[in-house]
Structure 1
Amino acid sequence: MCRHLAYLGPPEPLGELLVRPPHSLYAQSWAPRRQRHGTVNADGFGVGWYADGDPVPARYRRAGPVWGDLSFADLARVVRSGALLAAVRDATRADADGEAAAAPFAYGPWLFSHNGMVAGWPDSLADAARSLPPAELLSLEARCDSALVWALLLHRLRSGDELPQALADTVAEVAAAAPHSRLNLLVTDGTVIAATAWGDSLWYLHDPAAGRTAVASEPYDDSPEWHEVPDRTLLTAIRTDVLLTPLKDPDPKDPEPRNPDPRNPEPKEPMA
């Protein structure tokens, strides 16, 4: 059910992060090592990256498998960035959305990806969809579950919620409406990475001395410095710090589940 990766650190060619490592996201498109659901991520791919001085990221997305796109290989060789989010897709069900359904989704400074699925889709999120302003609902890039989860998160961000809190509240809302969903969400604005481990694997690699942080569905190399994120956890990371905050399963009977503020969590686990 998809693989994704976000990076903050010194500028590097995209290929050094996405193609060259022995278990890179590129390789995970056909040979993921820790994917619990699905086997091949060939239903689309994308990468979004930030250029110096421009807060709005660029994107490159395609509907087919990443290994079949020679243009991406050339782009990844020469484009450099100190912040990116990339994903390879295994679709929950067949659809006609093509490239529009490939992560990362984007708006303003934000990039978003969803590794997982919404149980009972689409009926389970009908009420959540009706809660969105019509203009936002009509602006969905695709009709897949990930696109609606992104719309719910984006509505909170545009309303002024901080990224970690908006992410935690979105997971709580979707999990309450659609129990047994897998909601590994990954978001960045180019300075902060926020992610949730909810039903699938999530790992991070952190080197504060180098100002370098990577968050991924699974490690892209065999370094012993990778740390697995416990399930039901919110991760918030910058270049020099990583914070893990436990998340609670919402009560499906609670119409407005809330989580503790990840900016002041109890308990918390700072990671060096």
Structure 2
Amino acid sequence: MCRHLAYLGPPLSLAELLTTPPHSLYEQSWAPKCQVGGTVNADGFGVGWYPPDDGAGPVRYRRAVPIWADENLPGLAALLHSGAVLASVRSTTPGGSNHETAVAPFALGRWLFSLNGRVDRWEQLPTDLGEPLTLAELLSIEAHVDAALLWLMAARRLVAGQPAPEALAELVAGVLAARPDARLNLLLTDGSTVVATRHGDSLWYRSEDERLIVASEPVPEQPGWREVPEHSLLRASRTSVDLQALPRL
């Protein structure tokens, strides 16, 4: 399992989002309060951000070390600012890769993606869903881990033109039909919108003054946090949040 967050709003330093608030993602790496699986997230961390006034795709910084062990992060986080961020701290699924390529966020074009969850026997999932991978897709998968496979399957839908909310909802419904015990908190952003699913672990959001944060755990000192109901789909922008139940096959 993992902890993750997405932010949309006025540009903030990465430190204001990731490291300095009480019970920030940094603290959640060793002291999560709501986490269903695992007690520490020390198998890497990653952050993706969209540079202000930059039309290019997002920039990523990923490491396979605990977030507290990266001596470069404090300086980078204080210097870098963005109005759109997706970040995570990782607890690896047993048997998965421990390389930094296995750490979210995963990326395609302007999309950033993260999984907080677990899918058992994920290697057989495409066959079980009737969605076998092509040789090109097998060669392109970024890491030997469930999150990378789910991202490949989600990205396949996005490239085909499926809207992001429908793509994630369809993917979750299919995976749960084949793996009923899967935990599937997915988080996706293109820098303007956030789409997320909650199934199997905690998810919260805070939306006010054209600022949106979607996160595995709330920052207690900040008022206005609301819990996303279990088995729900969230779609949001800086100014609006819509929640609905996820479909089941």
TM-score (norm 1): 0.88
Give yes or no for the alignment of 1:160 onto 2:166: no
Match in the other structure for 1:174 = 175
Match in the other structure for 2:44 = 44
Q: What is the percent sequence identity of the aligned residues?
A: 55
Structure 2 CA distance for partners of 1:89 and 1:7, relative to 1, 3 Å? same
Give yes or no for the alignment of 1:67 onto 2:71: no
- Contact 2:169 / 2:247 at 8 angstroms: preserved in 1? no
Partner Cα distance (2:182, 2:81) in 1: 35
Which deviates more from structure 2 when the two are superposed, residues 48-57 or residues 236-245?
48-57
Structure 2 residue identity aligned to 1:235: L
- Contact 1:125 / 1:174 at 8 angstroms: preserved in 2? no
Structure 2 CA distance for partners of 1:125 and 1:180, relative to 1, 3 Å? farther
Residue pairs, 1:50-199, within 5 angstroms: 50-51=50-51, 52-128=53-129, 131-199=132-200
Report the alpha carbon displacement of residue 80 of structure 1 after superposing the two structures with TM.
0.1
Give yes or no for the alignment of 1:203 onto 2:207: no
Deviation sequence 1:112-147 (CA, Å, 0-9, x none): 000010033333444448523321221011010111
Match in the other structure for 1:259 = none
Match in the other structure for 1:212 = 211
Partner Cα distance (2:144, 2:97) in 1: 9
Structure 2 residue identity aligned to 1:173: G
Structure 2 CA distance for partners of 1:228 and 1:69, relative to 1, 3 Å? same
Partner Cα distance (1:128, 1:72) in 2: 40
Match in the other structure for 1:228 = 227
Which deviates more from structure 2 when the two are superposed, residues 174-183 or residues 94-103?
94-103
Partner Cα distance (1:189, 1:167) in 2: 14
Partner Cα distance (2:125, 2:194) in 1: 28
Partner Cα distance (2:96, 2:140) in 1: 18
Report the alpha carbon displacement of residue 25 of structure 1 after superposing the two structures with TM.
0.2
Structure 2 CA distance for partners of 1:34 and 1:211, relative to 1, 3 Å? same
- Contact 2:126 / 2:133 at 8 angstroms: preserved in 1? no
Match in the other structure for 1:237 = 236
- Contact 1:24 / 1:221 at 8 angstroms: preserved in 2? no
Which deviates more from structure 2 when the two are superposed, residues 161-170 or residues 118-127?
118-127
Which deviates more from structure 2 when the two are superposed, residues 91-100 or residues 134-143?
91-100
Give yes or no for the alignment of 1:10 onto 2:10: yes
Q: Which runs of no fewer than 5 residues in structure 1 stay unpaired?
A: 251-272
- Contact 1:55 / 1:190 at 8 angstroms: preserved in 2? no
Partner Cα distance (2:18, 2:160) in 1: 33
Match in the other structure for 1:248 = 247
Deviation sequence 1:194-219 (CA, Å, 0-9, x none): 00001110000000xx2100000011
Partner Cα distance (1:153, 1:182) in 2: 16
Report the alpha carbon displacement of residue 54 of structure 1 after superposing the two structures with TM.
2.3
- Contact 1:86 / 1:104 at 8 angstroms: preserved in 2? yes
Q: Secondary structure at the residue paired with 2:72?
A: helix
Partner Cα distance (1:98, 1:47) in 2: 15
